[in-house]
């Protein structure tokens, strides 16, 4: 059983909630249903789970008056084996995006406040079924992603003590013993090859067979393609899928990782395809890293919407777009050139995305200065460069030296921890999961 950090967030929500329901949102197959079911079993006497995708007819519960007493009565008629007792029963509305009135009902559950109601959904952002009255102010949200590297280590049985010792080295900026660092880089390469989708990680933990992992990854990718075909508008279906399936080429096969419409089809332009990128973004199928015209706080003030990189929401999906043997090259560290550099950039971007950071990058054709990734951390702009080896970070050094409000930056490498007088903090690639 995989240990997930979101469990702590669920417990914290239970302790602090005030007349609100909870929606756990995120991309499909990230483990939302499993973790809520597990939480309910550990904290409640009874779970009433309604999955609107699996049982569309359950929407009838919400077809009448949306008073709590009426909804509970309808639930008791439909599920006579359930007692549905306030404080003892957790009501879980899964795939809630499939029932617009169930979304509306959350306001009334919150106002009543007798029952604990959680919901989950993977396509809430596309708004293909608009709730008649969206309950703004009555819902708390938790975003859930695939496993990050620390959760992956837990899944492999790595102890908290060992992870804690890594964090001590990170906090003290001290060199990690080479044997430990090499072992962690080995684990990290496996993580990149497997990705963070719980089913893929569990399959590897159970079988240690990358063929089995590959089957799971490709099945999940097909599920994403199904969602595009099923939920996108007729106008967007084909275009959105084309955009999505070109991401491996955009990110791994070229030196320039900016999203280029010409890679979709010859002569393609933003006018035709940008709405499809927007749909993929709202559906939690991609996340974007936007270019900034200047590196300063607040980065949103300098961000452009028409110049971006598009990443899959988990490495599993990106790897599944490539040939099976890329996994062997990743694990054996035999990748080279654009593919290796692009993959490590994707891995660091994935780690930062799962930490909740908004991502940006900088590229100046005139000065030839380029910063791979930029985040805002504790109210400060932090530039980041990603190196497949340990080459010099000239653009990062220039930026720190010439921008008063930038005091440090990270350089992630296939190497160890180090610092210099310029303010560059060098870290092993896997440390992106911990900053």
Residues 425 and 420: their CA atoms lie apart, in Å, by 7
Same domain assignment for residues 112 and 203: no
Residues 6+ apart with CB under 8 A from 45: 85, 88, 89
Same structural domain, 83 and 183: no
All residues at 6 or more sequence positions from 18 whose CB lies less than 8 Å from its CB, including other chains? none
Q: How many CA atoms lie within 13 A of 140 on its CB side?
A: 18
**Considering 111, 143, 175, which residue would you say is the last residue of a domain?**
143
Longest alpha-carbon distance in the chain? 71
431, 170 contact by CB (below 8 A): yes
Q: Do 66 and 214 belong to one domain?
A: no
364/294 Cα distance (integer angstroms): 9
Residue 410 lies in a domain: yes
The phi, psi pair for 217, rounded to 5°, reads -60, -45
- For the chain, what is the domain count? 2
Q: Residue 91 falls within a domain, yes or no?
A: yes
- Do 79 and 60 reside in the same domain of the chain? yes
Distance CA 225, CA 328 (A): 25
Question: Domain for residue 1, yes or no?
Answer: no
Residues 411 and 292 occupy one common structural domain? yes
Per-residue confidence (pLDDT) for residue 368, from 0 to 100: 86
CATH of residue 126's domain is: 3.40.50.300
Q: Decide which of 94, 125, 143 is a domain's last residue.
A: 143
Tell me whether residue 84 is in a domain: yes
Are residues 370 and 363 in contact, defined by beta-carbon separation less than 8 angstroms? yes
Q: Is residue 224 part of a domain?
A: yes
Q: What pLDDT does residue 181 have?
A: 97
Same domain, 12 and 79: yes
Helices 6-16 and 32-43, packing angle to 10 deg: 50
- Same structural domain for residues 206 and 339? yes
Six-digit token string for 149: 């590297």
Which of 122, 143, 164 delimits the end of a domain?
143
Q: Are residues 159 and 32 in the same domain?
A: no
Pull the structure tokens for residue 123.
């396509």
Q: What is the pLDDT of residue 129?
A: 47
Say if residue 67 is in the same domain as residue 177.
no
Asked if residue 273 is part of any domain, the answer here is yes
For the chain, give the secondary structure using H, E and C. CCCCCHHHHHHHHHHHCCCCEEEEECCCCCCHHHHHHHHHHHHCCEEEEEECCCCHHHHHHHCCCCCHHHHHHHHHHHCCCCCCCCCCEEEEEECHHHCHHHHHHHHHHHHHCCCEEEEEECCHHHCCCCCCCCCCCCEEEEECCCCCHHHHHHHCCCCHHHHHHHHHHHHHCCCCCHHHHHHHHHHHHHHHHHCCCHHHHHHHHHHCCHHHHHHHHHHHHHHHHHHHHHHCCCCCHHHHHHHHHCHHHHHHCCCCCCCCHHHCCCCCCHHHHHHHHHHHHHCCCEEEEEEECCCCCCHHHHEEEEEEEEEECCHHHHHHCCCCCHHHHHHHCCCCHHHHHHHHHHHHHHHHHHCCCCEEEEEECCCCEEEEEEEEECCEEEEEEECCCCCCCHHHHHHHHHCCCCCCEEEEECCCCEECCCCEEEEEHHHHHCC
Looking at the fold, whether 287 and 204 belong to one and the same domain comes out as yes
Per-residue model confidence (pLDDT) at position 127: 59
Q: Is the peptide bond before 332 cis (omega within 30 degrees of 0)?
A: no
Please check whether residues 90 and 166 belong to one and the same domain. no
Cα–Cα distance, 7 to 348 (Å, whole number): 24
The confidence score (pLDDT) of residue 244 equals 98
Digit-by-digit pLDDT tens for the chain (435 residues) are 799 999 999 999 999 878 899 999 999 999 999 999 999 999 999 999 999 999 999 999 999 999 999 999 999 999 999 999 999 999 999 999 999 999 999 999 999 999 999 999 888 777 544 545 678 889 999 999 999 999 999 999 999 999 999 999 999 999 999 999 999 999 999 999 999 999 999 999 999 999 999 999 999 999 999 999 999 999 999 999 999 999 999 999 988 899 999 999 999 999 999 999 999 999 999 999 999 999 999 999 999 999 999 999 999 999 999 999 999 999 999 998 889 999 999 999 999 999 999 999 999 888 889 999 999 999 999 999 999 877 788 999 999 999 988 999 999 999 999 999 889 999 999 999 999
Q: For residue 360, tell me if it sits in a domain.
A: yes
Supply the angle between the helices 237-245 and 270-282 in degrees, to the nearest 10. 80
Write out the residue range of the structural domain in which residue 21 sits.
6-143
Residues 222 and 97 in one domain: no
Burial class (CB in 10 A: 0-12, 13-18, 19+), 311: buried
- Note whether residue 313 is domain-resident: yes
pTM of the model: 0.94
């Amino acid at each position: 059983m995989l240990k997930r950090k979101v469990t702590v967030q669920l417990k914290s929500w239970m302790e602090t909630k005030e007349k609100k329901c909870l929606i756990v949102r995120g991309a499909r197959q990230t483990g939302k249903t499993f973790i809520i079911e597990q939480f309910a079993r550990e904290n409640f006497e009874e779970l009433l789970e309604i999955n609107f995708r699996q049982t569309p007819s359950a929407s009838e519960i919400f077809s009448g008056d949306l008073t709590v007493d009426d909804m509970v009565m309808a639930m008791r008629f439909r599920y006579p084996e359930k007692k549905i007792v306030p404080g003892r029963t957790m009501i879980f509305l899964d795939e809630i995006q499939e029932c617009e009135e169930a979304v509306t009902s959350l306001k009334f559950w919150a106002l009543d406040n007798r029952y604990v109601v959680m919901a989950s959904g993977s396509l809430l952002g596309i708004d293909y079924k608009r709730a008649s009255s969206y309950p703004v102010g009555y819902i708390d949200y938790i975003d859930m992603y695939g496993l990050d590297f620390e959760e992956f280590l837990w899944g492999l049985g790595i102890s908290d003590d060992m992870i804690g010792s890594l964090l001590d080295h990170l906090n003290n900026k001290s060199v990690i013993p080479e044997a430990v660092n090499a072992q962690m880089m080995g684990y990290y390469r496996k993580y990149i090859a497997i990705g963070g989708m719980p089913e893929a990680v569990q399959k590897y933990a159970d079988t240690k067979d990358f063929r089995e992992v590959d089957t799971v990854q490709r099945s999940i990718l097909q599920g994403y393609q199904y969602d595009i075909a099923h939920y996108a508008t007729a106008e967007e279906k084909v275009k959105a899928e084309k955009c999505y399936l070109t991401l491996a080429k955009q990110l791994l096969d070229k030196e320039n990782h900016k999203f280029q419409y010409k890679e979709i089809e010859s002569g393609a332009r933003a006018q035709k395809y940008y709405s499809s990128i927007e749909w993929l973004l709202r559906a939690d199928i991609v996340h974007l890293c936007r270019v900034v015209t200047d590196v300063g706080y607040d980065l949103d003030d300098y961000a452009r919407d028409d110049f971006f990189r598009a990443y899959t929401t988990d490495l599993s999906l990106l790897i599944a777009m490539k040939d099976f043997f890329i996994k062997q090259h990743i694990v054996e560290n035999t990748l080279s050139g654009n593919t290796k550099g692009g993959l490590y950039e994707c891995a660091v971007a994935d780690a930062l995305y799962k930490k909740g950071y908004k991502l940006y990058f900088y590229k100046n054709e005139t000065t030839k200065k380029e910063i791979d990734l930029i985040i805002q951390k504790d109210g400060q702009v932090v530039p980041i460069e990603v190196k497949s080896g340990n080459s010099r970070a000239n653009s990062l050094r220039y930026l720190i030296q010439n921008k008063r409000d930038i005091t440090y930056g990270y350089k992630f490498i296939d190497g160890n921890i180090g610092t210099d007088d310029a303010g560059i903090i060098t870290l092993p690639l896997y440390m992106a999961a911990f900053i």
